[in-house]
Structure 1
Amino acid sequence: MKAIRRFTVRPVLPEPLRPLSDLARNLRWSWHTETRELFQAVDPEGWAASGGDPVRLLGAVPAGRLAQLAEDQDFLTGLTAAADDLDAYLHGPRWYQSQSPTPQLPAAVAYFSPEFGVTAALPQYSGGLGILAGDHLKAASDLGVPLIGVGLLYRHGYFRQSLSRDGWQQEQYPLLDPNELPVSLLREADGTPSQVALTLPGGRALRAHIWQAQVGRVPLLMLDSDVEENAAGEREVTDRLYGGGSEHRLLQEMLLGIGGVRAVRSYCRLTGHPTPEVFHTNEGHAGFLGLERIRELAGEGVEFDAALEAVRAGTVFTTHTPVPAGIDRFDRELVAHHFGDAGELPGVDVGRVLQLGMETYPGGEPNLFNMAVMGLRLAQRANGVSTLHGAVSRRMFSGLWPGFDPQEVPITSVTNGVHAPTWVAPEVMRLGARQTGGGRGGGARPAGSGGSGDGAQRWDAVGDIADAEIWDLRRTLRRQLVQEVRERLRASWRQRGAVDAELGWTDAALDPDVLTIGFARRVPSYKRLTLMLRDRDRLMHMLLHPQRPVQIVVAGKAHPADDGGKRLVQELVRFADDPRVRHRIVFLPDYGMGMAKKLYPGCDVWLNNPLRPLEACGTSGMKAALNGCLNLSVLDGWWDEWFEPDFGWAIPTADGVVTDVDRRDDLEANALYELIEQRVAPRFYDRGPDGLPGRWIEMVRQTLATLGPKVLAGRMVREYVERLYAPAAEAHRALTPEAARELAAWKARVRAAWPQVAVDHVEAVAATAVNGTAELGSTLGLRVRVALGRLGPDDVEVQAVAGRVDPDDAIGDAQTFPLKPAGGPDLEGRWMYEGPLTLDRTGPFGYTVRILPSHRLLPHSADLGLVALPTGATGEGAGVLMR
């Protein structure tokens, strides 16, 4: 018989063991080795059965065992130490509190994301975006940044992956009971659950409870629509991550953005947490948060345009996609149906809402509402997630700033990082602790894991570790991975219908002494899961090489609706099923955080071969590097930024040269094979008289010492604080309602007058020139006559833009030089501007001039997307001076 209702009966902890509950409810245990070891000591078998989840463990441990532990003085001593350590971590000053002057820093930051990968015990993530968001929260906690995370609680999380007998991906959606998760309901003062509510068309309502997870010092608020007061359809809004059709996704994103702001307000009201001054949108899914904040200000009597300026000032938008196809876009009529007086945000003009998401650039689709476009229009500050991705994003969204070259589009970059205490194997931690003299839980922590400094000197100390110790560590981690793979392989084959009598071969799958390559990620086509299969005979030869064999561990999930991705998985699985090579290449289903923590440390090489430049960042290679695994990757994402031959390999690409996709894949697969055959494998198997691969070990050492400090989430979060959060907080404070009204009125005036703004005439006053060339170091005097229409010099900036020019006279590596007005307007109302232009570089050189709007409250000169150029100039390519 099946139960009609399921619930958990929690044990009553004896008084001496009560601190276990606090330790279990704070997710710091997910990256704090000593706390995990304490829970393992409670019941080693139960800890394994719970999947390393303290909440599940405590819900199943026998009462007799609890009574026994309550009398165990050694255990109680460890429990007291862990509880005291957590208390000190939560309440002591960290890096953020040591910054001076502190008034420039935001009192709090609200960080919105559709998914958060904090721990496998809270499965609310699908891939890199969620893992990045989880690492962002953890690093913010370690650094003491007053951050509030905001997301959704999906009752089915993301799907669990298994394989059919013929290798086809199958999905299962286990139901998650929040009462069995490390979360608690946010409650009002009278004990009732706190709720947020959205108005839907037809007088319906979408209500949601607010669940809170504590990620160290950072609260994570997750909205859950499975509320009894909701109708059946509304209860299902937060059913699955990235599930459902367009309206379902729209409701999820409205709940995340609009409901998320309301949840933050409730949380701050009930707990006394400082009110956020900065709102950070991690991708466009949460973009509606800006509209809710506009509605709040409208309720205080602030007009839409002024409210928009005030909201933009304190908003940061991070884009993660390098392709338009990766952006959520909704039918304009569907969006209009859900807003206005008949739906959400009454009093906010629906037409203004639709304008925010309109693709107004060439090639844009006028009937679609673009969430990333809205995110950019609602944020003063925006960034990509690697240097290359920042450049890609500036090109991709340049249509929103017509008249500006892509390099001037106001999208910067903050390269992602990963949370070392989460992803570094305990064995690596312990080796670091021995080398730096750190005690238990002290010096083992890598740079950026907390405190007031970044501990970068700890990474330098790897240079003093003996070769033999590094190699022993690598062999230990590889051996652990082999054991893990064999267990997972047997379990997977049993799910596929095999019986034990067929699975004897799994005992010999992989070899702990063979060069091991890892490849694990989501399976969209651009990541090219099957590139390694382009020449199967050649791959088979590498796998079975008599002297230098290679073995490969592959994992990854295709989106449930992506049959193309599922076919790639099946293609790889069928190859790996071949009895000739199945001991050398394996596919492990259900890739997640638990598997990843074994996979990254145990591999010798991490493979990444996307179509360049479609990998925004690619943080899996960072996690591998922190464990001494070497990267073999296309120069894309973070690897394009930090690759050096001393610690990895770059796969040559044919981007920009070969347009035929199959031809490009053939060329790049061949380059991959050659690297493995001629450089990677020989270096791994090249042993010295002591039996050690000295050159390989040196690459491991360089990976840890050089990449270690760079790839940290602590470094990333510090950059966000210093470069984006602090300026956003300052702008937020400056944009009072009065200042916002002033700025909005000025913008309206400038936009109306801009058609009359023009560059009439440009002349070079003096320069040393011989036969049309000028000498390095000479100065060119510019005189520029401009029409400003109804604007004055206080409304604009006139600039000279100069630099080297290409054969088409386009200026690259440009510098700007301000020009100043020379007296008042002439009889025609024209203004003369003058200024010097220093010729500071040799070779083909050119200049142009332009007029930009200027106001003390503008974050940058491209903010309005307005620019006036000389007649006939389409960019900064006019006015070639010398060649």
Structure 2
Amino acid sequence: MKAIRRFTVRPVLPEPLRPLSELARNLRWSWHPETRELFRSVDPEGWRAAGEDPVRLLGSVSAARLAALAEDRRFVRSLTACAGDLADYLGGRRWYQEQPEGLPRAIAYFSPEFGITAALPQYSGGLGILAGDHLKSASDLGVPLIGVGLLYRHGYFRQSLSRDGWQQEHYPVLDPNELPLSLLREADGEPARISLHLPGGRALHAVVWIARVGRVPLLMLDSDVEENGPGERDVTDRLYGGGSEHRLLQEMLLGIGGVRAVRAYCRITGHPGPEVFHTNEGHAGFLGLERIRELAGEGLEFEAALESVRAGTVFTTHTPVPAGIDRFDRELVAHHLGDDGELPGVDVEKILRLGMETYPGGEPNLFNMAVMGLRLAQRANGVSTLHGEVSREMFAGLWPGFDPSEVPITSVTNGVHAPTWVAPEVFRLGARQIGAGRAEDALTVGGSPRWDAVADIPDNEIWELRRELREQLVLEVRERLYASWRTRGAGTAELGWVDGVLDPDVLTIGFARRVPSYKRLTLMLRDRDRLMELLLHPTRPVQIVVAGKAHPADDSGKRLVQELVRFADDPRVRHRIVFLPDYGMAMAKKLYPGCDVWLNNPLRPLEACGTSGMKAALNGCLNLSVLDGWWDEWYEPDFGWAIPTADGSATDEDRRDQLESAALYDLIEDRVAPRFYDRGESGLPGRWIEMVRETLASLGPKVLAGRMVREYVERLYAPAARAHRDLEPDTARELAAWKARVRAAWPQVAVDHVEAVAATAPNGHAELGSTLALRVRAGLGGLQPDDVEVQAVAGRVDAADTLAEARTVALKPAGGPDLEGRWVYEGPLALDRTGPYGYTVRVLPAHRLLADGADLGLVALPTEATGEGAGVLMR
């Protein structure tokens, strides 16, 4: 029989055990080994059965066991120590508090998903894990962040396999009362309510759940409340589920409702409120519109409010392909954001213009969330150096007249939260070497000197650790594989072979990630005979562990999963290659440390960053990857391998996969496997161990989320806070009026004439060290010299006279305007490079409150008719 009603009965903890509740409800336990060990000691079997979730564990412990623990002095001492450590962690000064004054008082960080722990399944892949690591590292560093997301009652789907290897999806219902969450409540005890107006007089209501991520509150909006109709209740049903309107409502609730949740949280708790808003991908972009609405309610005009909002907003893009961006029909957006829906009083046409793809090749009837995100943020970034370059190319149409290299999108390379992802055994080895306190600092704050101590760890200790971790993975794989086959319908009698799957002494390669086509799950199957030879090699065998989920609506991805599963089912190789269903954080924590090599073979440059290889590297696993994402930035042959790519435009897809798979097989056969199995007189693979050592020492401090968050603070949050403070209402009005005046005048701004005289030019040739005296005449269309900057742009030129490695030199006005109203600008240009060299000149808008010269997307360049010196080349 099924229950007609479900509710949660909470345990009553004896007085000495009361701190257990606070420890369980602060998610710091998910990355604090001592607290995890404390909960495990409550009931080791129950801890495992509860999926290592302390809230579920405490709900299952018997009253007799709790009474016994309350009398156990050793347990109570450990509990007191953990509770005291948490109090010190929450209240003590950390990195952020030691920085100079002027940093933002708080930052609101919006994301559609957060991967904090497997006990709170609100993530689908890398974006959510990255967001979770961002919050955890911000907490460790003392950064005053407020996280904002949605609470999905079904989370992301659980994955299993049918008998023939087809992906099956399951959506378990999550009860927030059984999760490490608490409701945001008003002073009278009632849950705080967030409401959005919908067309037709309807409303979308939500409550706000709070997850405590160390020092960081994570606010999660939940629409499954009685006040909503069935359609509105389901808005937060599934992560990335439903059709276009469903997704739009989710993103309205995340962005608009999320700002209102932040305001409610600050009002109720007395929090001073954020100065900076960080939009993690375009899904949360509507937050900027809600902040414009707030300022409009205070009497600020749309254009001035837009300037104020932009100043304090940071936008991070995570996709390297236009197809990965949410886009909505403009009429659907207008229907929901017009006077009959949300944001009444805000001109819907102005809203629509923020998201319109007004550039060559753009779709005029689609509203692009990333385009809106960029237009609503004064600062934007990609998530690796290469992804920054790709993003500047992809969005260059928003800044016409500028080279992609000048598009104002920078990059902050992702990092991973080491205390979450480093295996306890790896941490203990480091702690023995440099002490527990310094080892913890190395994982949170970073710093090469701490990581350099890896050089002093003996070879035999590194190798014993690697084998121990590999053996743990083998046992984990066998257990999961057995469970998977039982789910697929196999009987116990036919699964004896599972006990022989994998070998703790065989080179182990891992591959685990989402399964879009560009990640190429099945590239390894391109030549199956060759792969079988590698797996079954008599002296240098290889074994491969694969995991990954295809999106429920992606049948092509599911076919890739099925193709891999069917190969792994082959009795000839099933002891050497396995596919594990239901990839998630719990599996990943065993997978990354247990593999010797982490494989990544996406289509370059479609991997924005790819952090799974970072987590593997922190555990001494070597990377074997295409030079994409972060690996393109930090690869060195001392600690990994680069798979050659055939990504030229002339190479068709089939030929490219053939070439790159062959390169992958060659690398494994000729370089990776021989190095692993090449044992010296000591019986140890000395060169392999040295690569492990180099991975830890060289990559360790780079791949940390602590490094990433510090970069966000110093390069993006702090400047955004200063810009926000500068834009008081009157200043915002002044800036908006100035921009309107510049845009109106810009069609008349022109470079009329350019002259260049070489101060030293014997025989008519420019020489290194000589100087060109530039003289430029420009029409400013009624603008004043203070409104613009006239620049010389100089650098090397290619055969098409395109400038590269360019530098800019500001030219100064020489006197007032001439009789025709033209202004003359002059300045020296030093010739500091040899070879083909060239320059041009240009006029840009200039204002003290602009974050970048390309901010307005306006530039005036010389025409072919402009005087003798325009684009002069020196060879």
Q: TM-score, normalised by structure 1?
A: 0.98
Q: Note the 1:468-507 alignment, pairs <5 A.
A: 468-507=460-499
Query: How many Å separate the matches in 2 of 1:159 and 1:802?
Result: 54
Give 1:772 deviation, angstroms.
Answer: 4.9
Query: How many Å separate the matches in 2 of 1:14 and 1:276?
Result: 39
Query: How many Å separate the matches in 1 of 2:841 and 2:200?
Result: 55
Aligned residue for 1:106?
Answer: 104
Report if aligned partners of 2:160, 2:581 keep a CA contact under 8 Å in 1: yes
- Taking a change above 3 Å as real, the CA distance of residues 622 and 96 of structure 1, as seen in their structure-2 partners, is same
Instruction: Give the counterpart of 1:376 among 374, 377, 402.
Output: 374
Describe the SS at the equivalent of 1:126.
coil
Q: Note the 1:26-425 alignment, pairs <5 A.
A: 26-100=26-100, 102=101, 104-425=102-423
Cα deviation, 1:428-454, whole Å, max 9, x if unaligned, reads 00000101133xxx34426241xxx53
**Between 454-463 and 325-334, the greater mean CA deviation after superposition:** 454-463
Cα deviation, 1:161-188, whole Å, max 9, x if unaligned, reads 0000000000000000000000010000
Aligned residue for 2:533?
Answer: 541
Report if aligned partners of 2:643, 2:663 keep a CA contact under 8 Å in 1: yes
Query: How many Å separate the matches in 2 of 1:371 and 1:708?
Result: 35
Give 1:596 deviation, angstroms.
Answer: 0.1
Report if aligned partners of 1:772, 1:882 keep a CA contact under 8 Å in 2: no
Query: How many Å separate the matches in 2 of 1:711 and 1:12?
Result: 43
CA RMSD of superposed structures (Å):
1.0
Report if aligned partners of 1:115, 1:151 keep a CA contact under 8 Å in 2: yes
Query: How many Å separate the matches in 1 of 2:235 and 2:870?
Result: 54
Report if aligned partners of 1:525, 1:565 keep a CA contact under 8 Å in 2: yes
Query: How many Å separate the matches in 1 of 2:452 and 2:650?
Result: 42
Amino acid at match of 1:96: Y
Describe the SS at the equivalent of 1:236.
helix
Report if aligned partners of 2:843, 2:861 keep a CA contact under 8 Å in 1: yes
Query: How many Å separate the matches in 2 of 1:517 and 1:17?
Result: 44
Describe the SS at the equivalent of 2:758.
coil
Aligned residue for 2:426?
Answer: 428
- Taking a change above 3 Å as real, the CA distance of residues 234 and 127 of structure 1, as seen in their structure-2 partners, is same
Give 1:873 deviation, angstroms.
Answer: 9.4
Gaps of 5+ in 1: none
- Taking a change above 3 Å as real, the CA distance of residues 669 and 878 of structure 1, as seen in their structure-2 partners, is farther
Describe the SS at the equivalent of 1:567.
helix
Report if aligned partners of 1:658, 1:664 keep a CA contact under 8 Å in 2: no
Aligned residue for 1:698?
Answer: 690
Describe the SS at the equivalent of 1:646.
coil
Query: How many Å separate the matches in 2 of 1:625 and 1:525?
Result: 25
Report if aligned partners of 1:116, 1:130 keep a CA contact under 8 Å in 2: yes
Amino acid at match of 1:445: E
Query: How many Å separate the matches in 2 of 1:402 and 1:311?
Result: 23
Query: How many Å separate the matches in 1 of 2:649 and 2:337?
Result: 47
Give 1:334 deviation, angstroms.
Answer: 0.2
Amino acid at match of 2:48: A
Count of equivalent residues: 873
Aligned residue for 1:652?
Answer: 644
Amino acid at match of 2:269: T
Give 1:658 deviation, angstroms.
Answer: 3.9
In the alignment, does 2:794 pair up with 1:802?
yes
Describe the SS at the equivalent of 1:365.
coil
Report if aligned partners of 2:761, 2:770 keep a CA contact under 8 Å in 1: no
Give 1:771 deviation, angstroms.
Answer: 5.3
Report if aligned partners of 1:414, 1:719 keep a CA contact under 8 Å in 2: yes
Describe the SS at the equivalent of 1:774.
coil
Aligned residue for 1:817?
Answer: 809
Query: How many Å separate the matches in 2 of 1:565 and 1:616?
Result: 19
In the alignment, does 2:541 pair up with 1:556?
no
Describe the SS at the equivalent of 1:765.
strand
- Taking a change above 3 Å as real, the CA distance of residues 800 and 455 of structure 1, as seen in their structure-2 partners, is closer
Report if aligned partners of 1:810, 1:878 keep a CA contact under 8 Å in 2: no
Q: TM-score, normalised by structure 2?
A: 0.99
Query: How many Å separate the matches in 2 of 1:620 and 1:112?
Result: 22
Identity %: 84
Report if aligned partners of 2:755, 2:870 keep a CA contact under 8 Å in 1: no
Amino acid at match of 2:440: R
In the alignment, does 2:756 pair up with 1:764?
yes
Query: How many Å separate the matches in 2 of 1:697 and 1:878?
Result: 58
Aligned residue for 2:669?
Answer: 677
Describe the SS at the equivalent of 2:235.
coil
Give 1:11 deviation, angstroms.
Answer: 1.0
Give 1:790 deviation, angstroms.
Answer: 1.2
Instruction: Give the counterpart of 2:576 among 555, 580, 584.
Output: 584
Query: How many Å separate the matches in 2 of 1:701 and 1:658?
Result: 40
- Taking a change above 3 Å as real, the CA distance of residues 787 and 618 of structure 1, as seen in their structure-2 partners, is same
- Taking a change above 3 Å as real, the CA distance of residues 554 and 771 of structure 1, as seen in their structure-2 partners, is farther
- Taking a change above 3 Å as real, the CA distance of residues 773 and 656 of structure 1, as seen in their structure-2 partners, is farther
Give 1:879 deviation, angstroms.
Answer: 1.1
In the alignment, does 2:733 pair up with 1:741?
yes
Report if aligned partners of 1:354, 1:369 keep a CA contact under 8 Å in 2: yes
Instruction: Give the counterpart of 1:467 among 459, 470, 484.
Output: 459
Amino acid at match of 1:266: A
Amino acid at match of 2:346: V
In the alignment, does 2:819 pair up with 1:827?
yes
Query: How many Å separate the matches in 2 of 1:371 and 1:873?
Result: 41
Give 1:136 deviation, angstroms.
Answer: 0.1
Give 1:455 deviation, angstroms.
Answer: 4.8
Give 1:878 deviation, angstroms.
Answer: 5.7
Aligned residue for 2:442?
Answer: 447
Report if aligned partners of 1:799, 1:851 keep a CA contact under 8 Å in 2: yes
Report if aligned partners of 1:846, 1:878 keep a CA contact under 8 Å in 2: no
Report if aligned partners of 2:211, 2:218 keep a CA contact under 8 Å in 1: yes
Report if aligned partners of 1:258, 1:291 keep a CA contact under 8 Å in 2: yes
Q: Note the 1:589-628 alignment, pairs <5 A.
A: 589-628=581-620
**Between 652-661 and 536-545, the greater mean CA deviation after superposition:** 652-661
Query: How many Å separate the matches in 2 of 1:386 and 1:643?
Result: 13
Amino acid at match of 1:835: G
Amino acid at match of 2:361: G
Cα deviation, 1:24-67, whole Å, max 9, x if unaligned, reads 00000000000000000111111010000000000010000000
Give 1:7 deviation, angstroms.
Answer: 1.7
Query: How many Å separate the matches in 2 of 1:658 and 1:665?
Result: 13
Query: How many Å separate the matches in 2 of 1:5 and 1:490?
Result: 34
Cα deviation, 1:74-98, whole Å, max 9, x if unaligned, reads 0000000000000000000000000
Report if aligned partners of 2:110, 2:279 keep a CA contact under 8 Å in 1: yes
Query: How many Å separate the matches in 1 of 2:435 and 2:831?
Result: 55
Aligned residue for 2:709?
Answer: 717
Cα deviation, 1:169-215, whole Å, max 9, x if unaligned, reads 00000000000000010000000000100000000000000000000
Amino acid at match of 1:313: A
Report if aligned partners of 1:376, 1:382 keep a CA contact under 8 Å in 2: yes
Report if aligned partners of 1:482, 1:510 keep a CA contact under 8 Å in 2: yes
Aligned residue for 1:640?
Answer: 632
Query: How many Å separate the matches in 2 of 1:847 and 1:656?
Result: 30
Give 1:340 deviation, angstroms.
Answer: 2.0
Cα deviation, 1:690-709, whole Å, max 9, x if unaligned, reads 10000000000000000000
Describe the SS at the equivalent of 2:530.
helix
Cα deviation, 1:263-304, whole Å, max 9, x if unaligned, reads 000001111112100000000000000000000000000000
